[in-house]
Copies of this chain bind each other. A is one copy, B any other.
Amino acid sequence: MRGEFPALHQSVYEDTPLVYLDNAATTQKPQVVLDRMARYYAHENSNVHRGVHKLSQDATDAFEEARQSVADLINAPSSDQVIFTRGCTESLNLVAQTFARPQLGPDDTVVVTHMEHHSNIVPWQMACEATGATLKVWPIHDDGTLDMEAGRQLLAEETFLLAMGHVSNALGTIHPVASIIDTAHAHGVPVVIDGAQSMAHLPVDVQALDADFYAFSGHKMFGPTGIGVLYGKYDLLDGLPPYHGGGDMIDEVSFDGTTYADLPHRLEAGTPHIAGVIGLGAAARFVRELDHEAVHAHEEDVLQYAHEQLAAIDGLRLVGTAPEKTSVCSFVFDDIHPYDAGTILDRLGLAVRTGHHCTQPLMERLDLPGTIRASFALYNTRQDVDRLVEGLDRVQTMFG
């Protein structure tokens, strides 16, 4: 498995083998994804959807096959419900601008949880600000789980929309989205799921979840940068006004009035990120063909092992100890700044992230300046955890 990911096999600072533990920020890419994109650029590169010539057809076929691969991965009823965007952030903004903003008014409420990523907060703040609607916050417990009772109350009030993550990028908490969506729907509240952190770790079935919208990024699921997905229920997507105007999204353009194309093209203006889409298709197939049980068991084992090893370190405190977690270990030292720890770990070849992880409201809630976060993917091992523990030992010696 590790052999398939070229970026894992390198040293930093001359001779220190890299241990990549920043997978929640972005994952490395398997060779099949890189090869697929290289093939596109060397043999198929051409604009899609409009050409009669061979390259354009090949590119278009590959492009639409990729859309189907993504639809298959998330079990979308139709590939027309897979809208390509630049990334999860754009997907969420798209929903905020075209679904929420035209419907929101001063009496409406949008609910987000206290542990959302900025990308799932700011778009809603902007939509609320533009319309006078109110943004309400679903509170959390200290361990990084949602306060379910408070959430039920919020949903029972007149709520226009719930936007929440599937998995927390800062703490790793897996939220019980299926049952939350059930509850929300019982109150007539549609739900937008930020799936940025789930795709690389969990099987996602948008129909089983009954999600109204589901957003994610390619680069966090072994795919290329610059590409993401917005899945939506057909009728919801079909009801959206156009988002960007331009080539490909139109039926007929005239100065007397323009008519728009059908889904998915209506929401994809301009030349798309063709190489990115095709690469994402390869990543979707890569994920789909994994032995899910084995991968899940392995990831669980590494996470469990990391928890145990880290918990045993004096002066270190795990942040986020929900019973349902995946692949993220956030922690702090009593008396070492995360930045100091991160800097020394970096010199030891350990790529971890430190800081607020784009969840400032969560950090404020937990009264932390930030955390040190080790986030794993299927290619990480117990040995990587051992390297991390050795590194933390060194950090403590240096700052002790």
Contacts and interface: CB of A to CB of B under 8 A. Distances in A.
A222 B342 CA distance: 38
Contacts of A41: 6-7, 29, 34, 224
Nearest to A249: B122
Given A7-B45, A52-B354, A225-B272, A244 B22 contact: no
A252 B13 CA distance: 33
A10 B121 contact: no
Interface in A354-386: 354-355, 358, 360-361, 364
A188 interface: no
A122 B245 contact: yes
Nearest to A127: B245
Contacts of A255: 121, 135, 137, 361
B361 A253 contact: yes
A117 B123 CA distance: 30
A228 to B, nearest CB: 8
Interface in A31-66: 34, 38, 41-43, 45-47, 50-56
A246 B118 contact: yes
State the number of copies, please.
2
A276 to B, nearest CB: 5
Given A22-B46, A54-B351, 11 more contacts: A26-B271, A53-B342, A89-B269, A93-B244, A93-B245, A118-B247, A224-B275, A225-B271, A247-B358, A252-B360, A254-B361
Interface of A: 6-7, 10, 12-13, 18, 20, 22, 25-26, 28-29, 34, 38, 41-43, 45-47, 50-56, 86-90, 92-93, 96, 117-119, 121-126, 135, 137, 217, 219, 224-227, 242, 244-250, 252-255, 258, 269-276, 339, 342-343, 345-346, 350-355, 358, 360-361, 364
5 contacts: A51-B351, A89-B245, A225-B272, A227-B273, A253-B358
